[in-house]
A and B are shown apart, each in its own frame.
Chain A
């Protein structure tokens, strides 16, 4: 046989192999096509809004950027407050599950927190507006009366509790499970030898966590925060139901004049929009897409860097 002389055995190409591998390549490429389609269709539909003449856009905005700027501010503002609330809590919960709770309970407690992730956002919205907003409104009044000299708590306090702070609390609850899950995974990966070394040197449990667990988990905490931020930025219905929106930019947390978010604005305006209004909303959706893309990219970067540089294992 010729293969014996050349030393190379040519593999037989089977039809089944061909069909199957082509099928998988096709499916993989389809994902690329879909993503490209998302970008292209959104851009195509946004162009009319981007080049619109003054006076034709909603809210009497002179151009698209003046229209979208308060929304961008509101989106980032609400998500930032939500993150401020949820970062310490999620780190605490993750530490509780990974290092404090009895081993036998830990997994069950993890499931309970994961249950929060299973609740659809519209239910969070309903709960936020019908339960949380009403419950927390007296507290807002108190905050406004006693701490109103701080600009954040100033202004005329809302009578319904449908403020940006309530929204931020709901968003914080919604992003808590994903952030806790990521933090927990990273904390559990802390090398046991580091922990035991710290304890052997006489560290208390908290000192062990501060010197061994938290430094090791810092990239994980960063990426968890970014993932949470990405979720909070894109959240729609909970914000649309809870917030009482206005076209403003302000830093007041407790008034009924709140900057709206991009996603919530789309959800509220789209059913009644027509013509250029639809293009404007799609263009603002494109802006949201770009913002979340950047945030998620930072998250991936933080995770991947840890994999590369971690000298622990």
Chain B
């Protein structure tokens, strides 16, 4: 009985399957095909440079169509739709990666050479017309303003989250939760306008600019982030720990200080680091309230102060005669900014990993 009888294929279980790896072959094939097509286009003089992105993109589109058609013929409609969905979803992921790759590549390529020139970290832009100069005044300004904003927002944010988790009941807690949500959605430029309006009313000076104002504006953006993340972390502390502490007769405030906070300190620190990383790149509020200067200013409470994001914007927006000098400084500033943010993110992850309490065994 070794003779197999050929039966007519009648249902989806008995239809054929595409051989393993055939999908990849189709993908490769359609890329190569479109690559050749674009090569012809280039040789015919249609484009000046070889259009690699176009070839890959149209090749992927061709692949999506081909896979659907072939699978439809071999495997039937349902499988074909499944394969189409899979390839489209994978395509979406690739599309999402493209800008990231392009951005990191260009920032590194354009910024690195200028950033490692010694003047970048040792000079300000005072009396610099074209070449030379640096961003040290902007870096100092960014660090001071963000530091002050952290000083404002961490106590307020942390205490509020403690209130919400440990004490808060009733209408006040509900209102605060709602308002924190509202604050999360404040556009950054509105925070800048608020700080400006506030300081104009307080000082009566219409042209008011200072680092302090920038710190206030950044705190408005930072507090809700700190509250949200700390709240999540405090909620993770097991209630058994609190109850054990109460059972030993420890007052509530000492329980919070000695039991709850140390247990969650790693997560809270991570949240604060991420909040700092988020506001350190803010430009819009600083554009309004801290203003522009080419010189070093260490004093947070008096006159204009430069910050790194605004430095990048200003270098791009007010280009002088030698454009490349300005654009290069902008790229170098962008690279420095990204490196600072990355560093904060890495520290945050490291803190979370090293200091998180070992709850399980």
List residues of chain A with CB under 8 Å of any chain B CB: 14, 16-17, 19-21, 23-32, 34-35, 37-38, 41-42, 44-45, 88-93, 95-97, 100, 109, 112-113, 115-116, 118-127, 129-132, 135, 173, 176, 180, 204-207, 209, 230, 233-237, 240-241, 263, 266-267, 270-271, 274, 278, 281-282, 285-286, 288-289, 292-293, 295-296, 300
User: A156 vs B242: C-alpha distance in the bound complex, in angstroms?
Assistant: 68
| Complex interface bits, B131-173 against A, C-beta within 8 A gives 1, otherwise 0 | 0000000000000000000000001111110111011100011
* Inter-chain contact A293/B156, CB cutoff 8 Å: no
* Inter-chain contact B92/A92, CB cutoff 8 Å: yes
Interface residues of B, count at CB 8 A = 95
* Inter-chain contact B198/A292, CB cutoff 8 Å: no
Of all chain A residues, which has the CB nearest B53?
A: A135
Q: For residues 311 through 349 of chain B, which have their beta carbon under 8 Å from a beta carbon of chain A?
A: 312-313, 316-317, 327, 330-331, 334, 337-338, 341-342, 345
Of all chain A residues, which has the CB nearest B315?
A: A126
The smallest beta-carbon distance between A190 and chain B, in angstroms, is: 16
* Inter-chain contact B193/A285, CB cutoff 8 Å: yes
The answer to whether A234 and B190 touch (CB under 8 A), given A118-B341, A126-B331, is yes
User: A274 vs B196: C-alpha distance in the bound complex, in angstroms?
Assistant: 13
Of all chain A residues, which has the CB nearest B185?
A: A296
* Inter-chain contact B92/A37, CB cutoff 8 Å: no
The answer to whether A267 and B189 touch (CB under 8 A), given A31-B160, A120-B341, is yes
* Inter-chain contact B190/A288, CB cutoff 8 Å: yes
- Chain A contacts of B53 at CB under 8 A? 135
List the 8 shortest-distance A-B pairs measured between CB atoms, nearest first: A120-B281, A234-B187, A92-B92, A27-B159, A24-B163, A20-B253, A296-B185, A204-B82
* Inter-chain contact A296/B92, CB cutoff 8 Å: no
- Chain A contacts of B330 at CB under 8 A? 126
* Inter-chain contact A31/B288, CB cutoff 8 Å: no
The answer to whether A38 and B189 touch (CB under 8 A), given A19-B253, A21-B167, is no
* Inter-chain contact B78/A207, CB cutoff 8 Å: yes
User: A116 vs B172: C-alpha distance in the bound complex, in angstroms?
Assistant: 36
List residues of chain B with CB under 8 Å of any chain A CB: 53, 78-79, 81-82, 84-86, 88-93, 95-97, 99-100, 102-103, 106-107, 155-160, 162-164, 166-168, 172-173, 175-176, 179-191, 193-194, 196-198, 200-201, 206, 220, 223-224, 227, 251-254, 256-257, 277, 280-284, 287-288, 291-292, 309-310, 312-313, 316-317, 327, 330-331, 334, 337-338, 341-342, 345
Of all chain B residues, which has the CB nearest A101?
A: B93
* Inter-chain contact A126/B181, CB cutoff 8 Å: no
* Inter-chain contact A35/B338, CB cutoff 8 Å: no
* Inter-chain contact A27/B156, CB cutoff 8 Å: yes
User: A13 vs B96: C-alpha distance in the bound complex, in angstroms?
Assistant: 57
User: A300 vs B184: C-alpha distance in the bound complex, in angstroms?
Assistant: 11
- Chain A contacts of B184 at CB under 8 A? 296
* Inter-chain contact B187/A236, CB cutoff 8 Å: yes
The answer to whether A32 and B342 touch (CB under 8 A), given A25-B167, A38-B186, A233-B187, is no
Interchain residue pairs with CB less than 8 A apart (26):
A20-B253, A21-B163, A24-B159, A27-B155, A28-B176, A29-B176, A31-B223, A38-B190, A41-B201, A44-B201, A88-B92, A120-B282, A120-B309, A120-B341, A121-B282, A123-B107, A126-B330, A127-B107, A206-B82, A234-B187, A234-B189, A234-B190, A237-B284, A263-B187, A285-B193, A292-B187
- Chain B contacts of A29 at CB under 8 A? 172, 176
User: A194 vs B256: C-alpha distance in the bound complex, in angstroms?
Assistant: 41
User: A16 vs B166: C-alpha distance in the bound complex, in angstroms?
Assistant: 15
* Inter-chain contact B182/A296, CB cutoff 8 Å: yes
- Chain A contacts of B313 at CB under 8 A? 122, 125, 237, 240-241
- Chain B contacts of A20 at CB under 8 A? 252-253, 256-257
